[in-house]
Amino acid sequence: MRHHLVTAAGAVVGLVLAALVIVGVAQEVWTIAATAGSVLALGILVVQLDTWRRTRSLRAFVKTEIRRTAGREAENAQVGLTYARASSVTEDDVMGAVRLMQAQYTGRLDRMQRALDDALDRLSAAGAPPDTDRR
């Protein structure tokens, strides 16, 4: 939630500074226009530098994690530990899920058909002819 507030606050400050630049130019008060423009440019520069810093630190973090993971795997291989990676999802699991979805869908269709048949029976019992021209 906090990052949304920071983004909104940054947008409001940027709009106010842009409005000050426009008003300063329109009124020919160059001091206000230059100051607001400089502060706006400074804000953009600070955000860009922070983005660059975060990108660089993320790259370093990812490289460190890759080296650490590779080192751990090498240690485990030297010790003789092997990890048997069993697939968590088998073909039987997938087929079972598909059959379950088919059964649920078929059950829903059956209930819908029964409800439609009951409604038609009630309608014909009430003496009204069914409307066959609806599409």
Domain final position from 41, 64, 87: 64
Greater confidence (105 vs 76) lies with 105
pLDDT of residue 130: 58
pLDDT single digits (tens) 20-68: 999 999 999 899 899 999 999 998 998 899 888 888 888 888 888 888 8
Could you tell me if residue 79 is inside a domain? no
Asked whether residue 55 is assigned to any structural domain, the reply reads yes
Tell me if 15 is assigned to some domain. yes
| Element at 29 (helix H, strand E) | none
Model confidence at 131, pLDDT cuts 50, 70, 90, reads: low
pLDDT band at 97 (very low <50, low <70, confident <90, very high): very high
Structure tokens at 91: 């073909």
What residues make up the domain containing 43?
A: 1-64
Does a structural domain hold residue 35? yes
Q: How confident is the model at residue 70 (pLDDT cuts 50, 70, 90)?
A: confident
Residue 59 sits in the same domain as residue 108: no
Q: Which residues contact 20 (CB under 8 A, 6 or more apart)?
A: 32, 33, 35, 36
Residue 13 is assigned to a structural domain of this protein: yes
In a domain, 45, yes or no: yes
Question: Is 109 in the same domain as 60?
Answer: no
Q: Is residue 83 part of a domain?
A: no
Q: Is the pTM of this model over 0.75?
A: no
How much is the average pLDDT of 75-96? 71
% pLDDT > 90, the chain: 39
Pair 60, 4 in one domain: yes
Rounded (10°) angle between helices 30-79 and 2-26: 150
pLDDT score for 132: 63
Hey, what are 14's tokens?
């940027």
Our count of domains for the chain comes to 2
Q: Which two tokens stand for residue 113?
A: 């058909």
Average pLDDT over residues 115-122: 93
Residue 15 sits in the same domain as residue 60:
yes
Task: Identify whether residues 1 and 59 lie together within a single domain.
Answer: yes
DSSP-derived secondary structure for 37-106: HHHHHHHHHHHHHHHHHHHHHHHHHHHHHHHHHHHHHHHHHHHT-------SS-HHHHHHHHHHHHHHHH
At which of 64, 87, 116 does a domain end?
Answer: 64
How would residue 100 be classed by pLDDT, with cut points 50, 70 and 90?
very high
| Nearest to 13, CA basis, from 32, 39, 35 | 39
